[in-house]
Structure 1
Amino acid sequence: MSQNGLFHDVEGWGPDTCAEKLHTVLPKLIAGLNGDKDTRKQAAHFSAICKKFLAHVDINDVEVVIYADAMPKVCAVFDRSLADISELLAQQSPTPSSQSSQGNTTKEGVTDNIQVLDELICSLEKCIVHAARTDQPRVLDSHSLVATALHVIKGTFRHCKDSHESYGKVFPLVSESLSCLFKKAYSLQKVLMALIDKLQLSSDSSEEDVTDMVAVCQGFHIIGCTVSGVDASLLVTTWKFLAKQLTKHKEVLKNHIDMAPLVKTLCSEVGTNCKYCVELASKDATDRQNGCGDQKSHTRTLKICRFFMQCLMCLIKDYNGYLGSCIKEIFHVILEMQSLLPPSLSAPPLSSTAAEEMKATLLVGIEPMIQHLLDNRDFIQLVTGQSNDLPSQHNFPLCLLQLMVMDLIPKCSDEQKDQWVAPKIYPEDEPRDSILVSLFSTLKKCYTELTLPVYLPGVMCNGMPQRDVSLYEHVCTHLCGFAASLPARHFSLLEKCLLDNVLGTNLHCALVATDVWCFVARYGTAELCEQHVHVLTKLLCQLPNSCQHLQLHLLLRRLVPLMAEPHQEKFVQTYPPAKYPSLWVHLPPVAFVPKLRAVICGESVSYATPVCQKWLGIQRKTLGTLPDLHLALCVLCNVYSSSVRQTSPLQSSAPVLHAVSRLWDVISASGAAKHRTVEVVAVKLVQLTGYLLGQLVPEDVIKVLWRVSQWLKTSPPQSVKLSITTLLGRAGKVTLPPSPQQNQLQELLASLFSTLLQDNSWVVHHHALEAFSTFAEETPYESILPKCLQNEQVKSRAMDFIKGVPFSSNDLPPWNSETITQQQRRIEAFKEKRLSDISSRLEEMQSASSVEESPEQPSAKRIKQDTDSPTSTKDDSTDLKEEDLRTITNRLNKDIAKLEEFSVCESKPDWYKEELKSLHQRLGLLFEGS
């Protein structure tokens, strides 16, 4: 009997006949399935096998009797049908018209092959339903069936996903058939999931069972990748099943399955859905509140994203230590999520409700993930690596991530703490820093977020509502908490890191390090604070004046008040003001206990007053003598500052007032405009005079203000103008009895305020407004206020300033992240240029030192030639004359430079001006004669 005849006979058989002829007919049908080349007939044979004989085969024998031989051919038939469809579509160019004969031919061929696929799927579903009837199925009992079902499901979904593009104009003609095929494949997947869900793998499962389960998980992973972007419900169902199986059989699968591809796909899904969710949330809020499609899409996408986050957290938790090469993707998706949501500056504008909803849904899962990755070397390398090449929008999220890690480290084991805080770098490892150093490195890149500033939720305190804090305060708070939890063996690393940043060039990092250092001093013992103060003081005495010098002074100024009283007394004895005056420039006496303040003030004044008097007694007051005077004035300013003025000894004020009065007769405004050294001395003199203004006699007050008015006529540097505004702000308390001096005082004050309020520099103008506001509140001479505001524009600005009206101008750039970023770029460009200039100068110096005849070692003198010698020429005589002229003019330039240095002094001999006039006339005659 032929195969076709046998097939038709089987179609009419009942159950009893099929059971009776099972062992004779079934092998022939399977052989026909393998031997026939017509896919439709092969699908029909397989359908007959499933309908007529499957129910009569024992469940434990079905794999050997049917599936082992039949399933490979089913896969081949399925693949050939897909290939036939592709060939038909490639060979034909049909039109969408149903009247086209060419289109009908293609449609019929494609439809026939789709029916073959449909029939194969239905038959496979019957096989799976049959296998699921047993209470405890095993993978090996249906090994070929499960593999074939997965193959068919993956192929069907992939074919349907690409159909719109691959079918082209034929797609409308077969879209219903494809839709039906997709649904049947989904139905097959559901029954397959129900079958696999019944499987139980014990710890003693065979290698074949574990391998089959790994193949199942990998197959469903491929299905999930295939249906991504096609059907959200199917995608979630697939991943939900896959995550369940991975969790259920984790103990068996850990050492066999490669988790990296699965986790990478989950990270991709989280990132894609999170980005889409943010895009939907950033659209018009009104449309979303009205229940339009965007609101529904947003809610659905948010749920999907939350589901994938949960899956990701679950797999990271269950397979920690077996994740493989997917840590980089986890790291980047964490940064990406944080960069997409506020307060990140790269986040799109979102309503507060939507932002809080997404943060509560998505970002809440980041910390649990990090907790399971703390002992992962790859994760540690990514968080603290020196060569992290991240986009700029990820610097702020990385800072937050590092702070999260710091919050979790105290709960770790000692070994884990060492990996983060004191890492051991082996030769084969990439360079990385400790978490402390890495945090400060990241903070340097968050210039914009620190400047604006960006606000984050603060730490909850008992009995107080939570408030938003700046990024700076957020970093300080968490860093202080981390410092408090550090074990003793790591404390030296903390000290080194803080000192490096205090001495660094980044201001934000220096301030953070200073704040944390002060916390450590308060949190630790009094002896620790004393040790830190003495170490920093010794360092200060060794460092040259620089930006780092000032930062150390700021730190020391904050640490000294934290010292115990006996330690403060020892400090003053060890570093007396008379012996270490530069140290006491930035250490105000008010930082010490009351009984030490008078001692400090007395010693400071006793040191500074003789220095001023000595300088006044010098006949040749050159620029080289000014640094000592400047240091003495700085010490006096520190003593007589407003915060400690009442503690200064009154018996020491008279010599100081006398010295200040004499200095005003000597210091020249023209010198301040020419020489930086004179400028800083002038600034300190004005500042000190402001502190002592109330103690000066009327004549000295008039003299000071008159001198200041003369200085302003010479266009002094901006620093001098700013010091003058401070002086004028203190002049409100100066009162004189009715006299010509009172009138002169009022005229001088009005003239000075009028000049400074109209200054072109906005910095000077603003400080002048502040000084005028203070002066107007305190002065008894209200009649001079209108004279200070002669310009209408200045008058309007002054009134607005006093009333607290904000200044507005269209010329000012907006204060936003873009402006700050541009500012940062300019600062970095300036630093690069400065470093380049320094490098070029060093290269020039090195190249100059390598020349045999360097400027420090001039060449040998030329042999003097006799101009009267008959061998000498006219040109030789001319060269000698030029040499003599060059020598004379060079010497004259040096002498004039010395005279310019002496111009600092106001008092000069009577003959000085006459000699200068005579020299001027002689030089003029030489110039005319030439």
Structure 2
Amino acid sequence: MSQSQSGFLETVVGWDSTKCQENLDTALPRLIECFQELDVIQEQIGILKIICHSFLPCVQVTDAEEKVFSRLMDQVCGLFDLTLEDIQLHTQKGDRKSSLPLITDRLQSLVDLSEFLETCVCHMQTGNMPLEWSCLHSLPRGTIHFLRGAYGHCKVSGELYQELLSCLSVPLSNLFKKTHSLQVAFLRLLDNLRVSDQVTEQEVQEITQVCRGLFDVCQIVTSLDMKLMVTLWKAISKHAVSNKAHIGHHLEVGDMVNHLCGEIQTGFVYLLQLLPRLDLEGRVLSQGDEKGFQKSLKILGFQMKILVMLVREFSDLLDRCEKQVYNLLLTLHRLLPPSLSAQQIDQKNLSEIQQHLTNATDVLIKAFLPNKLFIETLTGSEKVGAVRDEDSFPELQILLRVLDNLPQMEGSVEMGLPLYITDPSLTGKHEKSMTLYENCCTRVCGFLGSLTTKLFNKAEEVLLENILSHDLWCRLLAEDVWCFLVRYGSADLCRDQVNFLVELMKQSPPAFQPPSPLLSLTVRLIKCLAPEHQAELTQSLGASDDPVSLRVLASCVQGFSDPGLCQGVIHSVSEICSWLLREITTTEEYTQEDLHRLVLCLSCLCELLGQNDTIPLAVQPHVTSSITDTIGRLWKGIVASDWLNTSLSLQCLGKLILLSSYLLLSLDNDVLDKILTGMSSCVQQESSVHLHLTLVYFLRSFGKVRLTASPEQPQMLKRLSDLFVATLTSSDLFIYHHGLSAFTKFAEETLHEAVVPSCIEDQPGLQDCVVQFINKSPYTCSGELSRLDFLRIVPPCRIGVDMDSDSGVSDHQSGPSSKRPRLMENVNHCQVSQQLKTSVEELVGVLRKTLSDLEAFTKSEDTDMTPQTWNNLEHIQTKIMDIMKEKG
């Protein structure tokens, strides 16, 4: 410092307030010049103190920006940064303790700078008139700069100072307190500022910068002090909303939303760790931290309120935050009951979480409904098959709230369980527990029921798309919703839609006639037709013998309200199919067209004969006799193993076996022997699961058969025993379960009792399994598969197998069964665990062989691959690519 500068400073220090006021215009600029010329931190801070205490009180509030802040603030910020760099430099020296006095001194300098800024901020609040933003430019920028840097320094102090931290706790504490005091004063100043009547672009930029700056500070203090975080978010939300009309397009609220979503996700996971650990029965295994839980919940609730406020107020200005909001919603739904990924939570704690957090998710979803990117994130076509198993249920929960599109995703595991949820919004004052599927269906029906008629064409388009989906739950849901819409519509609407579906099936390629999902829906809708419309339909369909017409009539017999109409349909369809079947059996070599016609005839006859026990009407005896004779000739002329090459011939074989099961009591021994021989060949060649289940159904019906005495009888009983053994030792859980059911029914009804002991005598433990199955008690063993594990292993489409689509057993029901098959809780099956332990090398080997077979099959001329099969192949390819990417 020069002598002239030193003398000047000594002079002004001695001035009183009157002297300072008289010399303000000359002394203040000279002081600022001295500050800018000096490069010693302590000397610069000394000048700032003189300005603050002697001259700033003399400056009018409206003149402070021009005379003081605009000239000083950049240099003050530079001095602050230089001081932090000096501290950083001295903490990196080898002898850190020797730097302790200088570091302490520099920390005090930061405290002095904080006091200078606070004095400036407080001075701006001494006027009587409210201030406009145009009166302040430099001071807010400098204050934000200091808050960001000082809080950031306190945040990294542990890592920065290490063993010196204990010696610096006092000066660091002083710095934190002074910074907080500056923050309080600054926020109070902001509350007193108002936008001018003619707002300028500069004001808009400065308000935006202040809000962004406070957000930067908020991100720093989140891990320092929760009270500071709360205070800052209140200030941000207040000024952002009050100035939304001016700064909305400049604020980049999406960054704030992303930060809050991340904080809530992290805090929510931590919150659940504070809860007591409970077992499945609700017993406490370990105590939690109730006080910590309440504190964390309060903070999370506040953050959620701020998030909701930002999303609601700036809903049309959000960008780049859709994915983060989506992930937050997934996390909240995934980690809370009734999700199977959730831990056991006491009802009291769960209610508190719902009150403070999850109840706000509906507001978030509603605000994001107009957001195209959010909807694409949720319902994009690329998501089909790509959703993680643990995210299927939470995504479905979100979709139910959106209801903008029907679900287009893999069904969640929770769909296959008797999972009950409570939804007061659907049940009114009295809460009612319902299954997840019932909840989904009710929500979607309610949504579509509220649509205007002009949107129904779009709704029908989406429903049809899902009816044809490869996913079981999408199909069932779309079918039920469609029936809901028709049921509450007019009779003419129902008639028109039935005609539309029938025509759509007729226009399908012959290989896919009739598509099973469309057939199921059509049969259900026919039940809703008015009697006169049912009569019209039978007349129009009965006038032709095309495949679709015959199959529709055969499938919907039970849906006709007039018994006479029903009997007429049975008679005409059975007559036509019997005639077609006789004609086909006279053919020496079957073409593709012959096989399609054969599948049609067999399918229709299976539908009609399979209903003999459920309706008083039946196929005429002379027609049944003709069919029996034709079936006998057909079995004698084929080799079953030759029919396993293509899917079409496989369907024929499955339908032939199924139809034969309805005619068992009328078939001769030689035909039965031919059937059992063919079935044994199919089992030895490891036929498809669908075909094997058809064989099981045949065996189930064999208990009523009494074989006449003949030389072939012992051999036939041996084949029958071997078929049961193959079924009861199958590694497939469905075949094994249905095999147990078939075996117990056979054992109860058969006159050939020797078959029963011959099946179980060489199978250790099988007798116990049969006994416990009869008693409906699950068999327990080590390494058992829980029901949940079973559902996670078996694809959803296997749980509700559509036998009619792939040469299996038709359930002869017009809609989804209300009684699902009882699944085994536990499996006494060593082959199951062995199958799950198959090495990767073996799996790859099997895959390579399968690919070779697939390639040869697709190149053959009689390739018959359905769209569903191609769709499944695409999903397999995607999964393999994902595995390869994950493993590098």
- Does the pair score TM above 0.5? yes
Q: 1:379 to 1:463 in 2, by over 3 A?
A: closer
Query: What secondary structure sits across from 2:545 in the alignment?
Result: coil
Equivalent residue for 2:545, pick from 550, 559, 579: 579
Between 1:583-592 and 1:388-397, the stretch displaced more is 388-397
Between 1:114-123 and 1:203-212, the stretch displaced more is 203-212
**Separation in 2, partners of 1:183, 1:43:** 19
Q: Deviations over 1:603-647 (max 9, x none)?
A: 23333444566678x5x7655678766654543332232466643
Aligned to 2:457: 492
Aligned to 1:401: 398
Q: Deviations over 1:514-570 (max 9, x none)?
A: 333322322332222222222322333343244972222222222211211111111
**Separation in 2, partners of 1:662, 1:35:** 113
Displacement of 1:183: 1.2
Counterpart check, 1:321 vs 2:316: yes
Amino acid at match of 2:187: M
Aligned to 1:311: 306
Identical columns (%): 27
Counterpart check, 1:214 vs 2:214: no
TM-score by length of 1: 0.72
**Contact 1:131–1:142 (Cα < 8 Å) also in 2:** no
Amino acid at match of 2:636: S
Between 1:589-598 and 1:502-511, the stretch displaced more is 502-511
Amino acid at match of 2:484: F
Query: What secondary structure sits across from 1:639 in the alignment?
Result: helix
Displacement of 1:299: 3.3
Displacement of 1:821: 6.3
Q: 1:358 to 1:833 in 2, by over 3 A?
A: farther
**Separation in 2, partners of 1:496, 1:250:** 40
**Contact 2:680–2:723 (Cα < 8 Å) also in 1:** no
**Separation in 2, partners of 1:131, 1:237:** 21
Between 1:807-816 and 1:245-254, the stretch displaced more is 807-816
**Separation in 2, partners of 1:336, 1:257:** 27
Amino acid at match of 1:234: L
Q: 1:564 to 1:372 in 2, by over 3 A?
A: same
**Separation in 2, partners of 1:44, 1:246:** 37
Aligned to 1:228: 222
Alignment length, in residue pairs?
Answer: 790
Q: Deviations over 1:812-840 (max 9, x none)?
A: 65554697368699999999998997778
**Contact 1:18–1:53 (Cα < 8 Å) also in 2:** yes
Query: What secondary structure sits across from 2:435 in the alignment?
Result: strand
**Separation in 2, partners of 1:836, 1:281:** 54
Amino acid at match of 2:87: I
**Separation in 2, partners of 1:145, 1:326:** 32
Aligned to 2:883: none
Q: 1:532 to 1:745 in 2, by over 3 A?
A: farther
Question: Residues 801-880 of structure 1 correspond to what in structure 2 (within 5 A)?
Answer: 801-810=773-782, 816=788, 820=792
Aligned to 2:492: 527
Q: 1:239 to 1:702 in 2, by over 3 A?
A: same
Equivalent residue for 1:186, pick from 172, 180, 185: 180
Between 1:704-713 and 1:140-149, the stretch displaced more is 704-713
**Contact 1:577–1:584 (Cα < 8 Å) also in 2:** no
Counterpart check, 1:660 vs 2:631: no
Aligned to 1:551: 517
Aligned to 1:797: 769
**Separation in 1, partners of 2:57, 2:157:** 36
**Contact 1:560–1:591 (Cα < 8 Å) also in 2:** yes
**Separation in 2, partners of 1:596, 1:844:** 45
**Contact 2:640–2:679 (Cα < 8 Å) also in 1:** no
Q: 1:53 to 1:581 in 2, by over 3 A?
A: closer
Aligned to 2:502: 537
Q: 1:108 to 1:808 in 2, by over 3 A?
A: same
**Contact 1:630–1:681 (Cα < 8 Å) also in 2:** yes
Aligned to 1:99: none
Q: Deviations over 1:653-702 (max 9, x none)?
A: 145236526754773397224435998667656645654667x6xxx687
Between 1:73-82 and 1:175-184, the stretch displaced more is 73-82
Query: What secondary structure sits across from 1:217 in the alignment?
Result: helix
Amino acid at match of 1:496: E
Query: What secondary structure sits across from 2:640 in the alignment?
Result: helix
Displacement of 1:804: 0.6
Aligned to 2:803: none
Displacement of 1:177: 0.9
Aligned to 1:897: none
Aligned to 1:423: none
- Looking at both structures, which has the greater relative contact order when contacts are Cα pairs under 8 Å and sequence separation is at least 6? 2
Aligned to 2:263: 269
TM-score by length of 2: 0.75
**Contact 1:732–1:775 (Cα < 8 Å) also in 2:** yes
Displacement of 1:797: 2.4
Displacement of 1:809: 4.8
Question: Residues 170-185 of structure 1 correspond to what in structure 2 (within 5 A)?
Answer: 170-185=164-179
Displacement of 1:184: 0.8
**Contact 2:308–2:364 (Cα < 8 Å) also in 1:** yes
Between 1:352-361 and 1:710-719, the stretch displaced more is 710-719
**Contact 1:578–1:603 (Cα < 8 Å) also in 2:** no
Question: Residues 66-145 of structure 1 correspond to what in structure 2 (within 5 A)?
Answer: 66-90=68-92, 92-95=93-96, 103-104=97-98, 106-135=99-128, 136-145=130-139
Query: What secondary structure sits across from 2:427 in the alignment?
Result: coil
Amino acid at match of 1:554: S
Displacement of 1:175: 2.8
RMSD: 4.7
Counterpart check, 1:358 vs 2:329: no
**Contact 1:15–1:52 (Cα < 8 Å) also in 2:** yes
**Separation in 2, partners of 1:65, 1:289:** 68
Displacement of 1:31: 4.2
Displacement of 1:597: 0.9
Q: Deviations over 1:897-926 (max 9, x none)?
A: xxxxxxxxxxxxxxxxxxxxxxxxxxxxxx
Between 1:477-486 and 1:245-254, the stretch displaced more is 477-486
Bigger Cα Rg? 1
**Separation in 2, partners of 1:380, 1:514:** 24
Counterpart check, 1:167 vs 2:138: no
Runs of 5+ in structure 1 lacking a partner?
96-102, 410-434, 846-930
Q: Deviations over 1:380-421 (max 9, x none)?
A: 554455567987465655544343232xx6xxxxxxxxxxxx
Question: Residues 434-833 of structure 1 correspond to what in structure 2 (within 5 A)?
Answer: 435-436=405-406, 439-440=407-408, 443-444=409-410, 446=411, 448=413, 450=415, 457-458=422-423, 460-462=426-428, 465-470=431-436, 472-542=437-507, 543-546=509-512, 549-576=515-542, 579-580=545-546, 583-585=549-551, 586-593=554-561, 594-611=563-580, 631-642=600-611, 646-648=615-617, 652-657=620-625, 659-660=627-628, 663-664=631-632, 667-668=635-636, 671-676=639-644, 687-688=658-659, 690-691=661-662, 726=697, 729=700, 756-760=723-727, 761-762=729-730, 766-774=737-745, 791=761, 793-810=765-782, 816=788, 820=792
Displacement of 1:275: 4.0
Equivalent residue for 2:146, pick from 141, 145, 152: 152
**Separation in 1, partners of 2:80, 2:773:** 84
Between 1:220-229 and 1:785-794, the stretch displaced more is 785-794
Aligned to 2:833: none
Q: 1:767 to 1:41 in 2, by over 3 A?
A: closer
Query: What secondary structure sits across from 2:317 in the alignment?
Result: coil
Displacement of 1:185: 0.5
**Separation in 2, partners of 1:333, 1:756:** 53
Amino acid at match of 2:44: Q
**Contact 2:722–2:759 (Cα < 8 Å) also in 1:** no
